[in-house]
């Protein structure tokens, strides 16, 4: 195991200790290792080279920004081949949490997510991607066939 030394400000250190305590870590090192793993997994999924993915895009919309909800809805309709489902949760009088489930070629999903993120009035956007392999293979003993239908098998 390698030792890595970092310097963090007092506020960040206090928050790290609080998080570690609330989550039951026995040491700061364990907490930091998990945070690094989470960050690396997020980075890996954002830079993945797989050709296909399924994804969850979530973001907060400020409906006071002129025509933003309508514009986002139009973007989703334009990319109906990527958008599987979407839902809106009203947070207060001005803000909504939108969740969009996407499926398709990884570059197209990333491009769509970046366009939504770039819209004025969209905040806290987060893209969670799962790399998949499209396949129409079935187990030999399966009693059904559906030509042209593909399964999306997660990569290991």
| Cα torsion angle, 49, 52, 56, 59, sign | positive
Q: What SS3 state is found at 10?
A: helix
Phi and psi torsions of 56, nearest 5°: -120, 115
Predicted confidence at residue 117, as pLDDT, reads: 94
Confidence label for 22 from pLDDT (cuts 50, 70 and 90): very high
Q: What SS3 state is found at 71?
A: helix
pTM score above 0.75: no
Task: Please provide the average confidence, as pLDDT, over all residues in the chain.
Answer: 88
By CB atoms closer than 10 A (0-12, 13-18, 19+), residue 109 is buried
Confidence label for 45 from pLDDT (cuts 50, 70 and 90): low
Q: Which class does domain 52-135 fall in?
A: alpha beta
d(CA 134, CA 136): 7
d(CA 155, CA 70): 35
CB 136 within 8 A of CB 149: yes
- The β-bridge partners of 152 are 134
d(CA 131, CA 58): 18
pLDDT single digits (tens) 72-110? 999 999 999 999 999 999 999 999 999 999 999 999 999
Cβ-based neighbours of 51, under 8 Å, separated by 6 or more: 105, 106
Predicted confidence at residue 43, as pLDDT, reads: 74
Predicted confidence at residue 51, as pLDDT, reads: 87
DSSP state of 31: H
């Amino acid at each position: 195991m390698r030792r890595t030394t970092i310097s963090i400000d007092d506020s960040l250190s206090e928050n790290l200790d609080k998080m570690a305590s609330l989550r039951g870590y026995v040491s700061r090192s364990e907490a930091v290792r998990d945070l690094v793993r989470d960050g690396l997994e997020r980075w890996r999924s954002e830079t993945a080279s797989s050709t296909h993915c399924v994804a969850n895009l979530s973001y907060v919309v400020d409906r006071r920004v002129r025509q933003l909800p309508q514009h986002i809805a139009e973007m989703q309709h334009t990319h109906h081949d990527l958008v599987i489902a979407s839902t809106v949760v009203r947070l207060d009088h001005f803000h909504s949490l939108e969740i969009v489930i996407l499926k398709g070629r990884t570059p197209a999903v990333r491009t769509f997510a970046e366009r939504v993120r770039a819209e004025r009035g969209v905040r806290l956007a987060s893209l969670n991607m799962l790399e998949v392999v499209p396949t129409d293979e079935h187990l030999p003993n399966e009693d059904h066939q559906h030509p042209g239908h593909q399964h999306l098998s997660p990569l290991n």
